[in-house]
Amino acid sequence: MSAPAKNRGDGGGREVMPSECNAKSQGVGTYPRPSSVKGRVLAALLAGAELTHLDCWEQFGSSRLAHHVHMLRDGGAGWPIKAVERPVPTSDGRQATIAFYRLPKSTIDQAGEAGAAYIAAVAAARGRT
C-alpha cells in the first residue's frame, strides 16, 4: 500500500509552465497547472470573465471558488483578483449578497501574450484546442 499524495494546496501538484507563460517577470502573478481547477479559473479571469460560485460549479465542477481565488491572490501566486459583492434575488424572493470575482483589465493587458498562451494551455489540457 502506497502513501497518499501530499497536498501542497495547488490543486494536485506543481508543473513548470512553458517560458511564454512565465509572466512573473512582467509584474503579473504566477500560473498554476493548466489542468487544475485553479488553472481553469485563472484562464477564465484572464479571458475577461467575471465569476461567481455558481459559475465555478457549472463550468469547473468545484464549489470552492473562494478557495481558488484565495490561492491565486493571497496564497503565493500574486494575482490581484477583485471581488465585488452584489445583491441577487433568490428563488424564494429574498435578496442574497454574493461575490463576483474578476481581474482588472490592466492586469489582463499586462499578462499579454503570456496570458493568451496560458489560456491556450488550459484549453489544450481540457482537450479543447
CATH code of 77's domain: 1.10.10
Length of the chain: 129
What is the domain extent for residue 101? Answer: 24-125
Residue 34 has pLDDT above 50, yes or no: yes
pLDDT > 70: percent of the chain = 78
61 φψ region: left (φ > 0), alpha (ψ -120 to 50), beta (else): left
Q: pLDDT grade, residue 128 (50/70/90)? A: low
3-state secondary structure of 98: strand
- For the chain, what is the domain count? 1
pLDDT in tens, 82-122: 999 999 999 999 999 999 999 999 999 999 999 999 999 99
In terms of pTM, does the model score above 0.75? yes
Distance, CA of 98 to CA of 120 (rounded, Å): 30
In this prediction, residue 75 carries a pLDDT of 87
Alpha carbons 19 and 2: distance in angstroms, whole number = 34
* CA–CA separation, 118 and 15 (whole Å): 13
Tell whether 39 is covered by a domain: yes
Q: What percent of the chain has pLDDT over 90?
A: 73
